[in-house]
Amino acid sequence: MNKQYNLIACDCGNSSTRVLLSRYDGQVITTTTILQEPNEMVKLGEYFYWDIMHIFRLLKHGIRMAAKQAEKIDSIGICTWGVDFSLFDKRGNMLMNPLCYRNAMGEKQMAKQSASVQREMFLRTGILSDKINSVYMLGGMREEFPELLRISDKLLMIPDILNYFFTGKMLNEVSEISTTQLLDTRTMEISKAQCEAMRIDPDIFSPIGTHGKPVGNVLPEILEEMGISYNIPVVCVPSHDTACAVLGTPSPKETFAFISEGTWALIGLHCKKSTVTDEVLAKGLTNEVAGFGHIMLLKNSIGMFIMQRLRRDYIAKHGGDISWDALDSIAEGYTGRGLLVDVNHPDFFNPPRMDKAIGDYLIKTGQTQTPDWPAIVSAAHTSLAASFAQGLIDVAEVSKTRLSEVYVVGGGARNQKTAQLTADISGIDVVACGMECTSIGNALAQAAYLMPELSYLDLKKIAQASLETIRYRPLSDRCAILKKYKQLHSY
């Protein structure tokens, strides 16, 4: 009988912090959510921050709980969202809580650049310039937090920070570092030319880890705090949660289309190498690093953030609570013609009220003068699906790949209405995966450490055996929606 392993997947997203116990029995991975707590950015003064120490405490508490359920914890892997980071001094002390990418600093920095400069940055790295990229936050900190930059010695991304807290080892993970726009995705190394152009010391980075290899063991004092009397290795997993989710996607192929639908939606193609051309740039696509040396050619778009904010606004207005299914069903009360918003318009990046932002946009674009809740929720569903379909078209054209299906992973995979609309608008099958793709991918990378004989395709076979899927086939022709969606970009 194959040896069984108990693997801890720490999955920290923009909206929640989770600890899952993943059991591998030699054939499949089953997951149990041990802890799930909300995660929200914290505003202090004029800046938004992440409470990284609170997240760390939650992870320790979740691991302590998991250790009571399992005979032994064999390894731990940590993944989070991308782009955000903190700085450390020469003695290894963290200098401040990580700033959140929703601060205006990045947008201000990017606005100073010409299109030609941004093109040069893309050609050096394969990464599209975006106001949320870490490189722009660093530029903003140079102006707004100059004292910190002067005494900083190392930069760690959010999952790198948590790995460091647990093990005392400083390491940069490659999928996370690719979100800085300072890594050349063709060589998988920090671009010295990009660092020089952006006035960033390349020595601020630590060695880049290898997927399926150890970061280090959990520190003895933390083991004691958690009530654990044996060593536990922390494994280098694809720590950008998108890369983890895509690794956990149950596709039998190395090249496949995906939508990672969480707070952000990443719409792309999992492939073997970067595509760094002017056509990619013109389409607004980027190359991010995936698991085990692969690349995700993708478009970064707003995702369930819109629905999360709508739910918050609805509760604030009506009181009580509302389930996600109940929120979705509100759209059924709208019977008029299709309403659309450009989901990536600046109006929806971080508005005080998402319902008002959508309503105002519908009025501004002449689509309705009375945007009630059914109209607003319907517009959100249809617009998200249209953005997904357009992203798939762009990726297919650039890669010269004919797409017949797309895998949807992440929390948004549960949204039946958006899944069906995406199938109808794109004209291809949508395969919605069990929402644990991220934790499955996290566990698979740990399995590669514990069982080094497993190949990449072996790992994918485990994902296929472990996950259930629902297939949505196109039921109606809604291609005309795409034409209207493109026209909204002129507003």
Which CATH number fits the domain that encloses residue 161? 3.30.420.40
Is the pLDDT at 491 greater than 70? The verdict is no
Contact 445, 211 (CB under 8 A): yes
Same domain, 397 and 252: yes
pLDDT of residue 137: 97
Provide mean pLDDT across the span 191-197: 97
Same domain, 153 and 254: no
Q: If you ran DSSP here, which 8-state letter would residue 55 be given?
A: H
**Parallel, antiparallel, or unpaired: how do β-strands 47-49 and 429-433 relate?**
unpaired
Same domain, 214 and 278: no
Q: Which of 205, 235, 265 is the last residue of a domain?
A: 235
Q: Which of 179, 213, 235 is the last residue of a domain?
A: 235
Same domain, 211 and 304: no
Q: Is 54 exposed, middle or buried (0-12, 13-18, 19+ CB in 10 A)?
A: middle
Q: Which of 189, 207, 235 is the last residue of a domain?
A: 235
Provide mean pLDDT across the span 298-321: 94
Is the pLDDT at 161 greater than 50? The verdict is yes
| H helix or E strand, kind and range, residue 383 | helix 373-399
137 is in which domain, residue-wise?
5-235
Give the percent of the chain with pLDDT over 70.
99
Selection from 116, 120, 80, 119 nearest residue 101 by Cα: 80
Separate counts of helices (H) and strands (E) for the chain: 19, 19
pTM attached to this predicted model: 0.89
Is the pLDDT at 490 greater than 80? The verdict is no
Same domain, 82 and 213: yes
The rounded mean pLDDT for the chain is: 94
Total number of domains constituting the chain: 2
Same domain, 353 and 248: yes
pLDDT of residue 1: 43
Tell how far CA 407 is from the center of its chain.
15
Same domain, 344 and 359: yes
